[in-house]
Chain A
Amino acid sequence: MTSSLTDRYVNATVRSLDDEQRAEVERELRTTIEDMIDGRLEAGAPSRPEAEREVLVELGDPVRHAAGYTGRPLYLIGPAVYPQWRRVLTLLLSTLVPLVMVINLVVRLFVDDVATQGVGPAVVGALRVGVMVAVTVVFGVTVVFVLAERGKVADVELGWNPDQLPADDADSVSLGETVTSVGFVVAAALAILWQQTSSPVTRDGEPVPVLDPALWSGVLPWLVLVLAGQAVVAVIAYRRGRWSTPLALAEVALDLAFAVPVLLLLWAGALFNPAFVGVLVASGWADAQCDLTVTTAIGVVVVLVWSVVEALRRSRRTGHP
């Protein structure tokens, strides 16, 4: 004999109750359903099975019904922990994911055979890793907060206090801004190393460095050092929570310390590796030297101007030194 709808409903409802409650709730629920069915038949329901069905519909989803007895929440992330869940998720997604993607991209550019494959596979690979990290972060954080919700973590631990207010946008240094700056600087430093070891241009299977290798005894280490200095400035500004005039001036000085030597070398035609330019010319790019020089110079000047304007803007908005 197959069990009746009522049996199945009662079983589904009491399943999640503890032993102490189960027997009693089951007994009471059965009587109630019978009473309700009788009530409907008296009120003119056409048949018992139809009345039974209507009664069960009225009683509603067994999971919801059982939650009335157990007090179990009918949600994963409730109002008690939702704000903190959102805060943690936003922070991790806006920092960890871009950081991992940049590091992954740079490492792949070193490892991949860029000369034959181009940068496509590295970019696609970094994007894929970014998506995976984002999914993992969302899943992991959510699981932790679901457990916290169930574990009735005290308000003290997940509470809110005024220190967590987002800093005033007008003069604060956001984490996202800092991660972007540091990521940019790290990428630039790694690019300087990368062009030496894994240049996209090869001759006889050997990578040909983009920049003149002779510069490693002078200006290239200096440039890496300047980039490190910029990362330090960005981190200091973040730790202090705001830019100050001295910090902005240090930023401008570092920008100039980077751009001026590069522009002088470009002017003297001594930045690029003659062998590298030679390969490009041999492959049909007659004006390689001139084109590269002009493009790089424009790029350096644009970045310099943007960075200096940004630094001055920051120092102005601090309002005090």
Chain B
Amino acid sequence: MPLDDDVVAQHLQELRRGIVVVAALATLRTPGYGYALLETLSGAGFGVDANTLYPLLRRLEKQGLLTSHWNTDDARPRKFYRTSAEGEELLGTLRDDWRALGAAITDLT
């Protein structure tokens, strides 16, 4: 029986749910604004919706994992985010866990 595409998509989405945070923290070590991050992430294969990403950025900011400042030099005022020291620390922890999980999954097979 061939795999049902919907089932595959659903499981992939569940598997990737938390990884957007890792990708965002890693990308924003170089300061960036929301839309640019959106483009970067979808370019890198992390499909994430704008209406999910922006609230996520605000939540990370509130938790002190991101810092932000407004850049008004441009024609459009843009809010730039940057990974904070705490964000950097969390990123390390998440990456270690990711690697450990990867190793554990490999050992299982």
Chain A residues with a Cβ under 8 A of chain B: 21, 24-25, 27-29, 31-32, 34-36, 39, 58-60, 64-65, 68-69
Contact = CB atoms under 8 A, between A and B. Distances in A.
Contact of A32 (B35, B56, B58): B35
B45 interface: no
Contacts of A25: 54, 58
Nearest to B74: A31
B85 to A, nearest CB: 23
Nearest to B78: A31
Given A58-B51, A60-B51, 4 more contacts: A28-B54, A36-B35, A68-B51, A68-B56
B35 A29 contact: no
Q: How large is the interface on B (under 10, 10 to 19, 20 to 34, 35 or more residues)?
A: 10 to 19
28 contacts: A21-B58, A24-B79, A25-B54, A27-B77, A28-B34, A28-B54, A28-B79, A29-B54, A31-B35, A31-B76, A31-B77, A31-B78, A32-B54, A35-B76, A39-B35, A39-B39, A58-B49, A58-B50, A59-B51, A64-B51, A65-B51, A65-B55, A68-B51, A68-B52, A68-B54, A68-B55, A69-B54, A69-B58
A302 B89 CA distance: 79
B54 A35 contact: no
A69 B55 contact: yes
A301 to B, nearest CB: 62
Given A28-B34, A59-B50, A34 B55 contact: no
A19 B56 CA distance: 19
A32 B50 contact: yes
Interface string B15-35: 000000000000000000111
A69 to B, nearest CB: 5
Nearest to B50: A59
A65 B50 CA distance: 9
A65 B58 CA distance: 13
Contacts of B58: 21, 25, 69
A36 B54 contact: no
A149 B33 CA distance: 35
Nearest to B79: A28
Contacts of A59: 50-51
Contacts of B56: 68
Contacts of B52: 68
Contacts of A39: 35, 39
Contacts of B54: 25, 28-29, 32, 68-69
A62 B34 CA distance: 18
Nearest to B58: A69
A183 B87 CA distance: 65
A4 to B, nearest CB: 16
B55 to A, nearest CB: 3
Nearest to B56: A68
A293 B55 CA distance: 79
A32 B55 CA distance: 13
Between B39, B49, B51, B54, the greatest number of chain A beta carbons within 10 A of the residue's beta carbon is seen for: B51
Contacts of A21: 58
A58 B79 CA distance: 21
